[in-house]
Each structure stands twice: as C-alpha cells, then as structure tokens.
Amino acid sequence: MFFNSRIAGIILAAIIAIIMAGYLAFLDILSIRAILSTTLVTFFTAFLFIFLTLEFVILREINKLYKMLEKLKKKDFKQFVKKIKNTGGDHYSKINQELFNFVSRKEEEIDELKKLENYRREFLADVSHELKTPIFSAQGFIHTLLDGAINDKVNREKFLRKAAKNLDGLEALVQDIILLSQMETGELKMIMETFDLNLMIKEIFEQLEDKAEEKEIKLILDAAQNHIIVLADPFRIKQAFINLVDNAIKYGNDKGEVRVGLDKDKDHVHVTIKDDGPGIAPEHIARVFDRFYRVEKSRSKEKGGTGLGLSIVQKVIESHSSKVSVTSKIGKGTIFAFKLKTSNIG
Ligand code: ADP
C-alpha cells in the first residue's frame, strides 16, 4: 500500500512540476536556475502533499475497509458491524453503509440457516422420541403373546387390540409427520378451488357425529348465510377443520357444545371454532401450535393425539395467506379463529 501511494505521489508530483516548469518557461521572466529550483520545490511539495493525502486519508480508510473484509472472511461479524457503525459520517460512510447492509444480510442468512439447522435437529429428536413409544408398546404386546400369552384366551384379544391401537397411532403419526414436512419444504402446493364452506362443515359434523355423541356434545353451525363460497384448497381446509373440531370435542366437556361460526364480510369469511371446555392456561397458549406440544401429555396420547394437529392447521392456514389465532379462558372454553378468501364465482 505504501509503495503504491509513493509511486502515485511521484508520478502526480512530476506532472505538476513539469506543467509548472513549462508555464514558467513560457512566461520567460525567470532564469533557468530559478525555474529549475522552483520546479524542484514544486515537485517535492506536491509529492509530499499527494503522498500524505493518499497515505493518511484515502489509503488509511481503504486499509480500514480491508481489515474489515479480513474480519468478514473470518466471520467475525459482531465486531465488524460495530466498527462499520463507528466509521459512519465521513466520506466513506456510503461504502461503509453498503458493507454494513451486506454484512447484516449475511448475518440474517446465517441466523436463518442456524435456526433451520436447530429446527432439523430438534425435529429429528422429537420424531424419534414420538415414534419410540408406539413401536415399543406394540413390540411388548406381541412379544408377550409369543412368550405364551397367545394361549391365554382371555388376554390374547386384549393384547392384540392394544398392539393394533399402538400401530394405528403410529400410522397416524407417520402420516402427520409426512404431511407437515411436505408443507414445510414447500413440496405440497395448495390446489385452490371454489367450494361451499357451509356444506363442508356439515360433512365434517357428520363425520365426527359419533365422537361427539359419545360425549353428548352438540355440534352447531352458526353461519351468516346458507352458502358461503370460498377460494381455498378444499382437501387441506377440510383437514384443518377436522383437526380443530376434533380437538374441540376431544378436549371439550361432556354434554358441552362445539360451535363453528362463519361470518362474511366483503372479501373474506371469518371462521371461529369455539368450545366450552376447560380452556388452555395462558402459559401454554403460545406453545399449542408447536410440534408435539401437548398441554397434558398423557391425556392427549390417551385420546389418540399425535401432537401435530395444530401445527398442521397453522401451516394450512398460512398457506392460504391467513393466520390462525387462539384465545382461551380457563373454565370457559377455547376459540380458534382465522379467515379465508371468499369468491363470487361458483
Ligand atoms: P394433539 O394431537 O395432542 O391433540 P394438537 O396439536 O392438535 O395435538 O393440540 C396440541 C395441544 O393443545 C393438545 O394436546 C391439547 O393439550 C391442546 N388443545 C388443542 N385444542 C384444544 C382445545 N380445544 N381445548 C383445550 N386444549 C386444546
């Protein structure tokens, strides 16, 4: 760097000195000796001025940037960002700003990658943990049968049923895991169609009728209009509704009620799924959409829950450019809400 500023200084100073000498010679008022000494003084003064300017102002700043880039290479982002912030306000603030933006972007990308990496690691750990329980249980029942319980007429059917129940749970879990990961990787695209939402809710009620009857829960549709046509993926939306209504029945009180409300405005239908069950405590509410999060682990498992139902609902609703929210009051019940685009065609 020093060598470059010296060469540049010599060249520029020589040009200035030559111009000066030419000009003095042209004026023809000084002797050759005086012109030569003036040229020499001009050369040295110009050299010094240019050299110092380059060295201490421009090159010093460039050196600073080089050092910062060195840090960038070493991924020392935190210090780098701080340094750039401190150099703001001088002539180089624009370059600094550009670098600052670049580094900030890189930092965000790295954070995002770290988050994804953590997510993958946690997901793998969670999935292995969740798969372990039904596999080991089914294995236990089958081995007990093989070890002689098969001859015990009273217990063999009971054990076989228990093994089958665990394997059914395993299948539901694997299906949910596949669906969730397909949605997360963007592999699963929504197929948008227009359909009658009221009709779909009625079909879902019929499908879950037996479950609701077991607990003497009433399923009620509160719709502002008889036919509300929405633009959405019917298959995925149906799945999201089934998860929400099924949860409302599962976690709701016996002899209670589950209400699906459809309220239409100009472009949207506002959906609510409301139960009058025990509700969700405030410390759990923010986490119910997390994968495998259960307020009461044993209760959810005993009810056949995979712990992925609400994560799937959240992904489906997000894929429809909407957001699902939850409000709950202990002892009063829970409301899940989201909106869907309506359509005038259909
Ligand atoms: P699960 O398969 O366990 O039902 P979900 O993701 O569907 O998993 O729900 C996560 C947890 O949120 C449930 O385990 C339950 O504790 C709680 N939950 C969901 N819906 C309701 C509800 N309507 N009332 C009370 N708790 C609920």
* pTM, full prediction: 0.71
Kindly report, residue by residue over 13-64, the tens digit of the pLDDT: 999 999 999 999 998 888 889 999 999 999 999 999 999 888 888 777 777 7
Fold observed for domain 114-185: Helix Hairpins (1.10.287)
**Nearest-atom index, ligand 1, CA of 296:** 16
Cα 284 to middle of ligand 1, angstroms: 10
pLDDT at residue 223 greater than cutoff 70: yes
Confidence of residue 3 (pLDDT cuts 50, 70, 90): low
Radius of gyration for the chain, computed over Cα atoms and rounded to the nearest angstrom: 37
In terms of CATH, what superfamily is 193-341?
Histidine kinase-like ATPase, C-terminal domain (3.30.565.10)
Q: Going by C-beta distance under 8 Å and a sequence separation of 6 or more, which residues neighbour residue 319?
A: 183, 190, 233, 236
The token pair at 5 is 């500023």
**Nearest-atom index, ligand 1, CA of 295:** 16
41-50, 65-74, 239-248, 315-324, range with the lowest pLDDT: 65-74
Give the residues surrounding ligand 1 with Cβ less than 6 Å away.
243, 247-248, 251, 275, 277, 280, 288, 293-296, 300, 305-311, 334
Give the start-to-end residue ranges of the domains of the chain. 5-109, 114-185, 193-341
206-215, 248-257, 298-307, range with the lowest pLDDT: 298-307
Kindly report, residue by residue over 54-105, the tens digit of the pLDDT: 888 877 777 777 777 777 666 666 655 555 555 555 556 677 777 778 888 8
* More reliable by pLDDT, 122 or 326: 326
Cα 306 to middle of ligand 1, angstroms: 10
pLDDT at residue 162 greater than cutoff 90: yes
CA torsion angle for 315, 188, 261, 193 (degrees, to 10)?
Answer: 150
Helix (H) or strand (E) holding 12: helix 2-27
DSSP 8-state code for residue 188: S
Cα 270 to middle of ligand 1, angstroms: 21
Half-sphere exposure (Cβ direction) of 270: Cα atoms closer than 13 Å: 8
Residue nearest to atom 13 of ligand 1 (CA): 294
Residue of 250, 294, 330 to test ligand 1 pocket, by largest number of atoms within 8 Å of CB:
294
pLDDT at residue 319 greater than cutoff 70: yes
Q: Let me know if 330 is exposed, middle or buried by CB neighbors in 10 A (0-12, 13-18, 19+).
A: exposed
**Domains 114-185 and 193-341 alike in fold:** no
